[in-house]
Structure 1
Amino acid sequence: MTETTGPAISFSWPIRVYWEDTDAGGVVYHAGYLRFLERARSEWLRACGIDQQRLRDDTGIGFVVRDMHIGFVAPARLDDELDVHVAVEQLRAASMKFAQSIHRRDGTLLIQASVRVACVDLANMRPCKIPDDLLARIS
């Protein structure tokens, strides 16, 4: 089994907070941060040259979140400009562990997250090996 551990090239994706992201108190609703983290991972894959729709159509595989640990440090508010960071922390044969964080543009840390995604055969939702060509683009 191939396993790589350690910091990888970091990727960042900008996001602005809109009304739809906030709760009655004007702060980002806690579940909204999951969408921000997901968007950044998807854009990271795209930056690596991986089209998730094509991957699904051509191979029948995809990536699903297996587990996630989130530390909420400070709130984001309406109109805040955020940067969502993604770094591969661990790469295994059938999974990846990401270190992610969300910062306000002024550098304030808002969220720290550890996210493990599994590569699965979408027909039966069983884990499968990440194809070698994807591994080469990711690492």
Structure 2
Amino acid sequence: MIEPMGAEFKLAIRVYIEDTDAGGIVYYVNYLKFMERARTEFMRQLGFGKAALGGAQERAEKTAEDSGAIFVVSDVQAKYRSPARLDDQLTVSAKLIELRKASLVFEQKIWRDEQLLCEGEVKVACANAKTLRATRVPAELYKVLSRLK
């Protein structure tokens, strides 16, 4: 459930063997994958993205993909605090902290119970799918996101 005014979107994720190294510790790059999943589900909850358009999730708004826009990560800053391990149940959060005309910035955290394992900021730029040049966030999406900020 997404709440307005900067509330965090949270996603539960289980650590599988494919997420770990030979010692059963989550490989560092997989934290970024977990963050990506949380951002994707955040957008899906808002009704944006191709997978979110079917059934009860139908919305009148166009998806970013339909408008010819794509989102690309342009900057990531991550601080690893403690390792996650095989079979851990994690909570990954995504919180929109900055909305610009052509980009979004998310604060993201990964927790195991009450222990913060990883935190970071991810800047996602909006680009034209054909030219890969920066473009405005689609108006309908911007309108919805501006209510959450």
TM-score by length of 2: 0.84
**Number of residue pairs the alignment of both structures matches:** 131
Aligned equivalents of 1:52 and 1:75: distance in 2? 33
1:137 is paired with a residue whose SS is helix
Report how far residue 107 of structure 1 moved. 1.2
CA contact under 8 A between 1:52 and 1:62: conserved in structure 2? no
Aligned equivalents of 1:9 and 1:121: distance in 2? 29
- 1:29 aligned partner: 27
Aligned equivalents of 1:83 and 1:10: distance in 2? 11
CA contact under 8 A between 1:14 and 1:83: conserved in structure 2? yes
- Which digits, 9 at most, give the CA deviation of each residue in 1:43-93, with x for residues without a partner? 00001110156532x211111100000000000000000000000111000
- 1:128 aligned partner: 135
Q: Percent identity?
A: 44
Aligned equivalents of 2:101 and 2:7: distance in 1? 19
Report how far residue 131 of structure 1 moved. 1.7
1:102 aligns with 2:110: yes
Q: Choose which of 111, 119, 137 in structure 1 pairs with 2:118.
A: 111
Structure 1 runs, 4 residues or longer, greater than 2 Å off: 52-55
Aligned equivalents of 1:86 and 1:103: distance in 2? 12
Report how far residue 130 of structure 1 moved. 0.8
Q: After the TM superposition, which residues 1-139 of structure 1 pair with which residues of structure 2 at under 5 Å, given as runs? A: 8-52=6-50, 54-56=63-65, 58-104=66-112, 106-139=113-146
Aligned equivalents of 1:124 and 1:52: distance in 2? 21
Aligned equivalents of 2:136 and 2:38: distance in 1? 23
Name the structure where strand makes up a greater proportion of residues: 1
CA contact under 8 A between 2:64 and 2:138: conserved in structure 1? no
**Aligned CA-pair RMSD:** 1.3
